[in-house]
């Protein structure tokens, strides 16, 4: 505890939490992840998003808990397959239900940041090939132009696409997510089409709002890549991986141009095409070619084996702020910690770097508010500030959740908080 010091967050920084609709809502809907979970061996615990947190019914309870914790910024998703269960058919009752949730958030003083696509596709859209072809771009734009006017009086901040790079890599390169394909060229094509979805949706949303204030961005998963060798070849490999996984797509989604001319999109109206740089950051990766090397036991890591490396957040924020000269929003940052023994330290170390070195970071959203259906890990990977008993749907605030609440209320970390929450570290 000797090197842990109090800090204050800069006044422009606002803290919040993130969730995703498919991961928390529960109750069956026809989308790609519900379909994927039906296939043997695809989910670690054979679970299904059909249970999750039951948030579709418990949304008011969850928002009340957020308010009690002092949370005033909430990044949430809309489940596309509920809103548009058939090609071109929109369920007005579902839209009204989302309006009820956003209205209640406003009543509680919680500001929404709405994510429009977070990995899951309606089943009918998946059968059409989803984002493998250009037709998918217009289908997504149709959805955006339909839903945004319905909620624009309640929400003026949007994430268009969440982690296009992870969606493409896991679904089309490694084949471990739906649709389970393994093609490098398809992965690149999907990343390009999702980038165009963002570029067009950015324009569409700004056109819908007209002169009214609105902020639109993307959320890209970013990592620090380190080669297993420190040789010149290893350093070159790290740069190539960085460009392929995140650098090129971030440039494309921001400017309409990529490091690869074949992937440029020339139809943009203006620069830039985001109102903030959205970064989802969790870990550093040590790579041998395209294979990630397991973290040694003596290196800090979470329950999934991801290296805990707070300096990575600092490096990535500095890089992308330098490149694009705009505010940075940390749209996801958190760790898998079933026993809640190092999550408070994780939060402290990442926020401390923001407080000391990153005055241009305006938002920080912790991933996640509550334990959820964590994609292929099922219910086995708890990232939540709030523990969820999936069998009873009972919510319990963890000590790390109480720590985060105190940070929000006090705009920083005091010596007393260090002694209470971090003394055993």
Q: Which residues contact 386 (CB under 8 A, 6 or more apart)?
A: 65, 369, 370, 371, 395, 396, 397, 398, 401
The first and second tokens of residue 378, run together, are: 């099922």
Is 50 part of any domain? yes
The first and second tokens of residue 212, run together, are: 């009214």
Give the three-state DSSP class for 31: strand
Q: Which of 204, 247, 198, 257 is nearest to 222 (CA)?
A: 247
Q: What is the pLDDT of residue 386?
A: 98
Looking at the structure of the chain, the number of domains it has is 1
Round to the nearest angstrom and report the end-to-end CA distance of the chain: 6
Is 393 part of any domain? yes
Q: What is the pLDDT of residue 232?
A: 80
Is 174 part of any domain? yes
Q: Which residues contact 360 (CB under 8 A, 6 or more apart)?
A: 317, 321, 327, 328
Q: Whole-angstrom Cα distance, residue 359 to residue 12? A: 8
Per-residue pLDDT of the chain (425 residues; tens, 9 = 90+): 458 999 999 999 999 999 999 999 999 999 999 999 999 999 999 999 999 999 999 999 999 999 999 999 999 999 999 999 999 999 999 999 999 999 999 999 999 999 999 999 999 999 999 999 999 999 999 999 999 999 999 999 999 999 999 999 999 999 999 999 999 999 999 999 999 999 999 999 999 999 999 999 999 999 999 888 777 877 888 888 889 899 999 999 999 876 555 455 555 555 689 999 999 999 999 888 777 888 888 999 999 999 999 999 999 999 999 999 999 999 999 999 999 999 999 999 999 999 999 999 999 999 999 999 999 999 999 999 999 999 999 999 999 999 999 999 999 999 999 999 998 76
Q: Whole-angstrom Cα distance, residue 307 to residue 288? A: 16
Which domain, by its residues, includes 383? 7-222+241-278+306-421
Residue at token pair 């991933």:
367
Q: Whole-angstrom Cα distance, residue 235 to residue 14? A: 36
Q: Whole-angstrom Cα distance, residue 292 to residue 170? A: 14
Give the pairing of strands 14-18 and 7-8: unpaired
Is 295 part of any domain? no
DSSP bridge pairs for 16: 365
- The CATH number of residue 21's host domain is 3.20.20.80
If one counts every other C-beta atom within 10 angstroms of the C-beta of residue 422, the result is 18
Is 389 part of any domain? yes
DSSP bridge pairs for 7: 413
Q: Which of 328, 308, 302, 325 is nearest to 317 (CA)?
A: 328
If one counts every other C-beta atom within 10 angstroms of the C-beta of residue 12, the result is 11
Sequential DSSP letters for 111-161: EEEEES-SS--BHHHHHTTGGGSTHHHHHHHHHHHHHHHHHTTT--EEEEE
Is 254 part of any domain? yes
Interior/surface letters 266-281, b for 16+ CB within 10 angstroms, e for the rest: eebeeebbbbbbbbbb
Is 1 part of any domain? no
């Amino acid at each position: 505890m000797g090197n842990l010091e109090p800090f204050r967050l800069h006044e422009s920084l606002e803290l919040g939490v993130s969730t995703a609709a498919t991961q928390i809502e529960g109750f069956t809907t026809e989308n790609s992840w519900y379909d994927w979970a039906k296939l043997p061996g695809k989910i670690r615990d054979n679970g299904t998003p059909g249970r999750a947190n039951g948030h579709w019914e418990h949304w008011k309870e969850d928002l009340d808990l957020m308010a009690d914790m002092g949370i005033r910024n909430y990044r949430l998703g809309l489940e596309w397959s509920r809103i548009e269960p058939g090609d071109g058919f929109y369920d007005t009752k579902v839209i009204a239900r989302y309006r009820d949730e956003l209205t209640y958030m406003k009543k509680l003083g919680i500001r929404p940041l709405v994510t429009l696509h977070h990995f899951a596709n309606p089943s009918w859209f998946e059968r059409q090939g989803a984002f493998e072809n250009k037709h998918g771009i217009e289908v997504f734009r149709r959805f955006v132009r339909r839903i945004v006017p319905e909620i624009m009086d309640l929400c003026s901040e949007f994430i268009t696409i969440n982690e296009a790079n992870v969606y493409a890599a896991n679904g089309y390169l490694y084949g471990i997510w739906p649709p389970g394909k393994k093609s490098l060229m398809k992965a690149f094509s999907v990343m390009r089409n999702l980038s165009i979805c963002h570029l067009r949706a950015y324009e569409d949303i700004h056109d819908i709002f007209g002169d009214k204030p609105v902020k639109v961005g993307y959320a890209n998963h970013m990592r620090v890549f380190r080669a297993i060798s420190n040789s010149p070849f290893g350093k070159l490999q790290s740069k190539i991986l960085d460009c392929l996984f995140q650098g090129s797509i971030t440039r494309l989604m921001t400017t309409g141009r990529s490091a690869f001319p074949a992937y440029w999109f020339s139809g943009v109206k203006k620069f830039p095409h985001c109102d903030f740089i959205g970064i989802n950051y969790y870990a550093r990766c040590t790579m041998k070619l395209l294979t990630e090397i397991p973290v040694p036991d003596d290196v800090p890591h979470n329950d999934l084996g991801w290296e805990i490396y707070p300096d990575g957040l600092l490096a990535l924020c500095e890089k992308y702020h330098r490149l694009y000269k705009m505010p940075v929003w940390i749209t996801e940052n958190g760790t898998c910690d079933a026993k809640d023994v190092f999550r408070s330290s994780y939060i402290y170390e990442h926020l401390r770097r923001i407080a000391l070195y990153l005055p241009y970071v305006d938002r920080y959203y912790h991933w996640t508010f509550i334990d959820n259906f964590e994609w292929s890990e099922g219910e086995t990977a708890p990232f939540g500030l709030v523990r969820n008993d999936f069998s009873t749907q009972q919510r319990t605030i963890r000590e790390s959740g109480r720590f985060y609440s105190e940070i929000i209320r006090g705009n920083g970390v005091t010596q007393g908080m260090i002694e209470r929450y971090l003394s055993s570290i």
